[in-house]
Structures are given as structure tokens and as C-alpha cells.
Amino acid sequence: MTPADCRGAATDMAVPLPLLLGLLLLAVLLVWGWRTTRRPAWAPHGPPLLPWVGSALSFDVGHGHWSYSRWAERYGGIYHVRLGPLHQVVLSRPDLIREAFGRSEVAGRPDTALSEFVVRRQGLAFSEGALWQYSRRLTLHHLRNFGMGKSRIETYIHHQIKGYMDQFLTPNIGRAVEIDQTLNVAVVNILWKLMASEELDITDHKIQNMIQEMMEGVNYAAKLVILDVYPWLRAILPEFVFNRAKKEREFGETVRQAFTPALEEHRKDLNVTGEPRDYMEAMLQEQHHHPESMTDWHLLMCLRGLFIAGNDTTANTLRWALGFLCQRPDVQRRLQAELDAEVGRQQPPTLADRQRLPFTEAVILETQRLANVAPVLVPHQTTAPVTVGGYHLPAGVQVIGNAYSVHCSAELFPEPFQFRPERFVDAQGQFKPDRNVMPFSVGKRQCLGEAMARAELFLFLTGLLQNFSFAWPEGETHDFLEDVKNPSFVLKPAPYKVVPSQR
């Protein structure tokens, strides 16, 4: 073979450049994909990880609590799961949730497409660090001052309950009715009074309509979860698919329109030093003194946050409670007998009566356990390295408090799917609180409106049961389960009808 023949043969064997680049790319993708199937050294065990997507394909986005609790049965109280690029550590034991959520390093919030869209990392529930601490302290202080959970707001709660009974229950005595949005109206009118000092009638749906509009934005934002799990979609999907810029503008406008008239009213005669008359005035005073922290958007997000966090949670807990009491008429009768004996029927029950109503307290706690309105609480994120359950987690890991598994644990609560308030009453008939029921979460980010919610649940339930009994419509049996067809952040029961009767 001559040298020229050799050169020819070498040229024939050369791999074309595009093919070479393709092979190189494939190799990089394979190595990258393989690396994503490996769990990080810091992580506890967990469900198998597929290349790139992790465990996302077996995660039920609409019913995340089912997926987390199914995995908890297999992997125990602490496990790691990866959804696309998101690393999550899921805690399904009460002691681990307490340990983690008590640490300031676990008090961050995930930087997700949802929080970016809804609040731009501002407001009470999604901010973190110094801004969150400052706003949380301020809000707690003012809500306490305005009587949250105390008797100052009690009279007004009674007013809304009476309105609800007069306008909604009395006209429907003996008929099958759905416990509809009127219940939410009563709940948000109470929040509005604390916020803006305005007293609204139960027939006034102004605030509820305003929240409904804001919820459309939140429901849209829930769809953006897909961008967190598959972030490369951001690069390839055309703008019109999610229409984010337009939706973001519309949402901002809705929030501004909702609160601006009341804020302007408050600004007109703002007393910058005196005792604030309501939450809006308190926040405006704060803005006057610290405009750099209390920006307009942050202020709006704090106002909005209270409504979103306090409306559906409270109203749906009450919806669950009425359904459970129809399922267990014996429990309903025992609660009413306790009310008759301790409070009578002349005066509405007050918060001071709580001590004397142990069975009622047990009914509320059992409702919150079984209803699980916030089944996985609200996701946290580590802001610095921290040890949880013996694992050294780096910053930037999502920490999920899987309260659903805790509340449905047969070990902690025998026959967990049965509504049995008796489990929280001791042999002497006294109320037996249980730290393992944690509907308001625990630790640094524990629900800010807990005192208010507890007061509302107690006063509504006792106020309604003092005057009415509730039963399923004649001949109906009811599978009283969560509304699986309309998943949302707050677990609600499937729509049901009850027949109220006057006592």
C-alpha cells in the first residue's frame, strides 16, 4: 500500500463532525441523566429516582398528600424525594416535624414559580429572613391588640353567626341545603372588620367576591408547579401557553383594586403616632416610619395573605365538622346536651365557656385531625446547613411536614379514619389535648391566625348547634370524603347537603 492509499483509507474512516458532536452530546446527556439517578450524599433514602425527573412521574400533583403518605408507609418518618430539580425531605413523624420546624434554619420558603408569581417573595406567608420576621411580629402584635382570640372581636363574631342563622339556616329549615359560600362570607367579614373596621352584613358579598377574584390568580399560579419540576419548559414553551406577563399584570391589578379604596380612606385621616384603630392603620403607620421595609406591594401582600390563609381553611373546617356530626348523630346529641347543661339556650356561648365544654373541644380537635385541611402544611426550605433527624441538610432543600401521615397514623390514633372525638376525652370526662394533632403546624412559622381560627371554630360550632340540629337528607347515605374532583391547596369535603332543623 502506498502512502497515498493510507491517507485515502484514513479519510474514509473519519467520523463526520456532526455525528461526532451528536455522540458527544449523547454521552454528556447519559452521564448527566445517570448522575440525576444518584441520591446526594446528605440525603436520607427514598423512592427510586429516574433520570432527570426523579420521582416526579409517580407524584400525584393534584393530591400530593396521597403520594407523600404512600411513600411514608414505605420509607418511614424521614425520606428524600426529588421532583425534577427540587430536592425535598419529607417528615412524617410528629417529633421530626417539631424538631425541624422549631429551627430558624428551616423557616425559609421555597423559591417556586408559584410564590414568584403570587407574591414576588413578599407578604406574610412567602417572605423570609428579616422582612418576614419583622412583618410577622408586627402582625401578631396588632392582631392581638385588636382582640384576635379575645372577647373584643367576640361580639362581632356573634353578629356574623346570627346573620348566618337568620339569613341562611332559618329560611331553609326542613330542606336539603348545601353549606355554600355564605359560610365563607361570615368568616371573611370578621377578618375585614379587624382589618378595616368596616362592619358588613352577611348578605354583603363584597369581600368574598373580591377574594374569589384573587383566588383565580392563585389557582392559575398552581398550574405553574409544572415549571418547577420541568424548568426547561420555560425555555421551549412559547409565551402564550402560560401567558405569564399578562396574568401577572391582571393579578396585580385585582389585588390593588381590592384594597386601594379602603387604604385611601385610611390614608386620608392617618394618625401616624396614636393607637391604630385597625390592621390597615397599623400597617400604614409602619409604612410612614419605615417606608423602605413596608413597600406598597409588601403591604398589599400582607393584607391579601391574611384573607387567603384565613378564609377557606376556617370555612372548610366548619364544613367538615357539620358533615362529621351528621355521620355521628350520637356525637351531635352529646355535644348539644353538654351545651344545654353548661350554657343553656338563652345566651350565645362565649369563649369563657370553653373550659366547661370538654366534649365540644374534643369534637373540634377530632374534626381538625380527620379533616386535614392543610395536609402537608406549607412547604419550608432550609436557609443554611442544618441537622434534622440526624441528617445534615445543606441550604436550599425543601422540607415538607407531612401532617396527613401523622393525623392518619393507626399507631397514634387507632381506627384513624373514624370520626371518634371520644379519643380526646379522659376517664373523668375531661378534654385530653394531643400534641400530635398539628393542623396549624408548629414552630417558627406556625399559623399566625391560630387564636383567631380557634375562636371562630368554637363560636360557630357551638352557636349553630345551640340553635339547630343537622342531618343527612332522608334516605341518603353519604360517603363523606374529600373533594377529589376539585383538588385545591385546602382539603375540602365533596359537596354535600344537610337538613337543618330548629331545636
Annotated binding site for heme: 447
Told to check if 189 binds ligand HEM by CB under 6 A, we report no
Which of positions 350-409 make contact with ligand HEM (CB under 6 A)? 373-374, 377-378
Q: How many residues are given for the chain?
A: 503
Instruction: Determine how many CB atoms are found less than 10 A away from the CB of residue 489.
Output: 18
Q: Which stretch binds ligand HEM (CB under 6 A): 30-38, 222-230, 411-419, 446-454?
A: 446-454
CB of 413 to ligand HEM, least distance (A): 18
- What whole-number distance in Å separates Cα of residue 384 and Cα of residue 394? 6
For ligand HEM, the binding residue among 77, 421, 439, 500 (CB under 6 A) is 439
- Contacts for 83 with CB less than 8 Å, ≥ 6 apart: 53, 54, 55, 56, 59, 228, 229
Q: Which stretch binds ligand HEM (CB under 6 A): 165-173, 198-206, 266-274, 442-450?
A: 442-450
Q: What cell was used for 390?
A: 440526624
Told to check if 453 binds ligand HEM by CB under 6 A, we report yes
For ligand HEM, the binding residue among 80, 93, 136, 319 (CB under 6 A) is 136
**Whether the Cβ atoms of residue 103 and residue 386 lie closer than 8 Å to each other:** yes
Nearer to ligand HEM, 49 or 322 (CB): 322
Q: What cell was used for 78?
A: 424521614
**Helices 182-196 and 296-310: crossing angle, nearest 10°?**
140
Q: What is the 3-state secondary structure (H, E, C) of 186-224?
A: HHHHHHHHHHHCCCCCCCCCHHHHHHHHHHHHHHHHHCC
For ligand HEM, the binding residue among 54, 94, 147, 310 (CB under 6 A) is 310
CB of 384 to ligand HEM, least distance (A): 18
For ligand HEM, the binding residue among 164, 440, 458, 472 (CB under 6 A) is 440
Told to check if 317 binds ligand HEM by CB under 6 A, we report yes
Nearer to ligand HEM, 54 or 449 (CB): 449
- What whole-number distance in Å separates Cα of residue 466 and Cα of residue 339? 7
Told to check if 283 binds ligand HEM by CB under 6 A, we report no
From residue 331, alpha-carbon distances to 202, 295, 340, 367, 394 in Å are 29, 50, 14, 12, 48
Told to check if 125 binds ligand HEM by CB under 6 A, we report yes
CB of 159 to ligand HEM, least distance (A): 17
Instruction: Determine how many CB atoms are found less than 10 A away from the CB of residue 476.
Output: 13
Residue nearest to ligand HEM (CB): 449
Q: What cell was used for 43?
A: 440525603
- What whole-number distance in Å separates Cα of residue 83 and Cα of residue 210? 34
Nearer to ligand HEM, 360 or 469 (CB): 360
Question: Scanning the structure block, which residue is given the C-alpha cell 425541624?
Answer: 100
* Cα–Cα nearest to 405, from 113, 78, 103, 144: 78
What is the size of the binding site for ligand HEM (CB under 6 A)?
25
For ligand HEM, the binding residue among 161, 284, 448, 498 (CB under 6 A) is 448
The residues that touch ligand HEM, with contacts defined as CB under 6 A, are 101, 124-125, 136, 305-306, 309-310, 313-314, 317, 373-374, 377-378, 439-441, 445-449, 452-453
